[in-house]
Structure 1
Amino acid sequence: MTAVSENGNLNNTTKLNSLLINSKYIGTDYSYKHEIVWKNAIGYLILHLLCLWGVGLIVTELEGLKSCLWTILHMYAGSTGVTVGAHRLFTHKSFKATPLLKVFLLCLQTIAGQNSTFIWVRDHRLHHRYSDTDADPHNSKRGFFFCHIGWLMMKKHPYVIELGRRIDMSDLQADKMIMFQKKYYYYLYFMVAFLIPVFVPIYFFNEHWLSSFLVCYCARYILQLNLTWLVNSAAHMYGTRPYDRKLQPVESWFVSCISLGEGWHNYHHAFPWDYKAAEESMHFNCNATIIRFFERIGLAYDLKTASPDMIRNRILRSGDGTHYVLGNDKAKSAVSAIGPLHPLNPTYNSTLKSPDAILKPEGLPLFHENDVLISDVIRGNIAE
């Protein structure tokens, strides 16, 4: 099979549409060269340097302990807004939420600073639909750096732009709260992600304004981003594929541990509509516990999950043989790591051949196994 190839940037939408319609497969064209967006690259470099400065202050200024705790609280609050809100609720519709919970999660997602929920969901639905191909915004086939942060420093591949327009966003377009956050995102972000986090330590903890800025904004923001990015990079490259060997994402204990449950990525891509995003909900999966807590107090309902039979059949049908119960010794022995051979080791990785990630134009399911890509082109979903 041959992946769709396209050299250089395509400015002719009609030509691109023709290619997509007539092509049998979409993969990765390694000859394509992404154009660097220098203002983004320089901006992220500066932010990372300021983050290192902030981390240095955390280590050396022990009197800033309250500020550190405040920063950690904000960091994981923002992460919850992304993982529980933007990801499991709004992208995959794995459960339903009351208006009160929606507002709460939208506020937390704004803290994370990963763009509005609308844009985040659009990009993530595109990622699942065309995972690890040129139509994936952070295609892991282009290497660790690209799928971790490089994709944010470069112009989008033409397939990302055009196929992104075809992702169905009608459910979010009909949601007034989502569209309100999208319209006023930067004002809201300035208030809840910058002003409040920086002002509170200055006023209540007698923190110096520079220390508060470096620790409570720069360090918190960049560390949180890198935690999220590890799901796009490490959880697509270093681990095992017990549920579907044809999917690039892997099971990563390391990523799951530091992200509170987002690293069981082979399972998640196999069953994207499962609210747990993992087979074992209590195994490094704080986010699933949070959703069940919301259910218990009446704020979340209609939690979706894959049945044991469905999971078992998927493992036996398409897994790589490394499942902890249903796997086989031969496949389990085909695992290596730099240092201790333990799943918590970030380099823990199966030596079995990774999939080619060449997909048909309709892509992969988003919500359930019978899901198909809508044929109508929905305009207005691409950010400038």
Structure 2
Amino acid sequence: MIGMLGITAGAHRLWSHKSYEAAWPVRLVFMLANSAAHQGSIYQWTRDHRMHHKYTDTEMDPHSIQYGFWYSHMGWLFYRKSQKLREASRTIIMNDIENDSIVMFQHRNNFILSHLFCFILPTLYGKYMWNSYWIGYFYFGVVRWVVLLHSTWCVNSVAHMWGTTPYNPRISSRQNMVTSLVAAGEGWHNYHHTYPYDYRASEFNWNNEWNPTTLLLDGLSSVGLVWNKKVGHPAK
């Protein structure tokens, strides 16, 4: 869950969409949690996600569902980026990210940080708790990482293929409860693509729809560590 929140609360809602603001200790913790997720640096993740929203369902969408389930789920990571994709990436405004010292520190040191928090520390944890490096490395490192990867990828694939479209039926993103369950509330995706700036990534609060990421952000907000939470206003 720590790594997942580094993606959902950090790379996605904070840095990609700027849907809220956070104190530097929160941003630092989210950066380290993001490193534990080992899904590329926040800089790379944000660039690709902003491309996805700007060019959704086109050939300039990095993981367009138009190329099929497996491509959007994970296949896109194994293909050489086309010239159009490379050109599209240069249209993405990244000044805010480039001026963020925490993000750029991670970007410069991503290899070390991701391996430290994704594999080395879990390996040492296994040794400390069960006197077994193998348990720590395999279960808390590799297995945890693979489960986290596929949970995140479900947002790109499952939530663009199956579910309802109550907010905008003209786009591929769907409301998918299963994706929300495995991805900490990120499956209310038709709403998210309609109101991408909403810090909840959902019309409703965490007590009405499964959304532990929103629960965390509301908790941090209650003690003054998160503020300026943006909310969408769907027509009734």
Q: What does residue 96 of structure 2 align with? A: 171
5 Å-filtered alignment, 1:229-244, equals: 229-244=153-168
Report Cα offsets for 1:258-286 as digits up to 9, x if no partner. 22210000000000000010011221111
Given the alignment of the two structures, is residue 88 of structure 1 paired with residue 16 of structure 2, yes or no? no
Amino acid across the alignment from 1:128: H
State whether structure 2 residue 43 is matched by structure 1 residue 110.
Answer: no
Match of 1:136 in 2: 61
Deviation at 1:158, TM superposition (A): 2.1
Residue 278 in 1 paired to residue 213 in 2?
no
From 199, 203, 214, the equivalent of 2:124 is 199
Report the Cα distance in structure 2 between the residues aligned to 1:190 and 1:229, rounded to whole angstroms: 20
Equivalent residue, structure 1, for 2:187: 263
Higher helix share: 2
- C-alpha distance in 1 between matches for 2:68 and 2:24: 40
Shift of 1:215: 1.2
1:245 matched to 2:169 = yes
1:215 aligns with 2:139: yes
Distance in 1, Cα, partners of 2:198 & 2:111: 31
Taking the aligned partners of 1:276 and 1:102, their CA distance within structure 2 comes to: 17
- Measured in 2, the distance between the counterparts of 1:144 and 1:161 equals 22
Q: How many corresponding residue pairs?
A: 234
Q: How far off its partner does 1:98 sit? A: 0.8
Look at both structures and tell me which one has the larger radius of gyration over its CA atoms: 1
Which residue is 2:235 aligned to? 312
* Contact 2:123/2:135, CA 8 A, preserved across alignment: no
Cα offset, 1:212, TM superposition = 2.6
Assess if the C-alpha contact under 8 Å between 2:184 and 2:213 holds in 1.
yes
The match for 2:84 among 129, 149, 159 is 159
Structure 2 residue ranges without an equivalent (≥5): none
Per-residue deviation, residues 69-106 of structure 1 (Å, max 9, x unmatched):
xxxxxxx1000000000000000000001111110100
Kept after mapping to 2: 8 A contact 1:134/1:157? no
Match for 2:4: what amino acid? S
Please give the TM-score of this superposition, normalised by the length of structure 2: 0.96
The 2-side partners of 1:217 and 1:235 are apart by 26
The CA deviation at 1:204 is: 2.8
Q: Deviations over 1:284-325 (max 9, x none)?
A: 111111111110111100000013xxx026xxxxxxxxxxxx
Percent identical residues: 35
Q: Is 1:182–2:97 an aligned residue pair?
A: no
What residue number does 1:150 align with?
75
Q: Distance in 2 between matches of 1:160 and 1:227?
A: 25
User: Within 5 A, what are the aligned runs for 1:18-57?
Assistant: none
Q: Is the CA contact (8 Å cut-off) linking 2:177 and 2:188 kept in structure 1?
A: yes
Cα distance in 2, alignment partners of residues 190 and 248 from structure 1 = 35
Alpha-carbon deviations, 1:309-358, whole Å to 9, x = none?
A: xx026xxxxxxxxxxxxxxxxxxxxxxxxxxxxxxxxxxxxxxxxxxxxx
What RMSD, in angstroms, separates the aligned Cα atoms of the two structures? 1.0
Q: How far off is 1:216 after superposition?
A: 1.6
Shift of 1:194: 1.2
In the TM superposition, residue 189 of structure 1 has moved relative to its aligned partner by 1.4
Q: Give the Cα–Cα distance (whole angstroms) in 2 for the partners of residues 142 and 220 of structure 1.
A: 28
Say if 2:216 is the partner of 1:293: no
1:135-189, CA deviations, whole angstroms, 9 ceiling, x for partnerless residues? 0110111111100011111111222211111100000111111111100111111
C-alpha separation in 1, matches of 2:83 and 2:166: 33
Q: How far did 1:190 drift?
A: 1.9
| 1:80 partner letter | L
Q: What's the secondary structure of 1:312's corresponding residue?
A: coil
- Per the normalisation by structure 1, the TM-score is 0.60
Query: What is the CA–CA distance in structure 2 between the aligned matches of 1:246 and 1:157, rounded to whole Å?
Result: 26
The amino acid that maps onto 2:113 is L
Alpha-carbon separation, structure 1, partners of 2:26 and 2:45: 18
Does the CA contact (< 8 Å) of 2:4 and 2:184 recur in 1?
A: no
In the aligned structure 2, how far is the partner of 1:177 from the partner of 1:260?
Answer: 24
The DSSP-based 3-state class of the residue aligned with 2:166 is coil
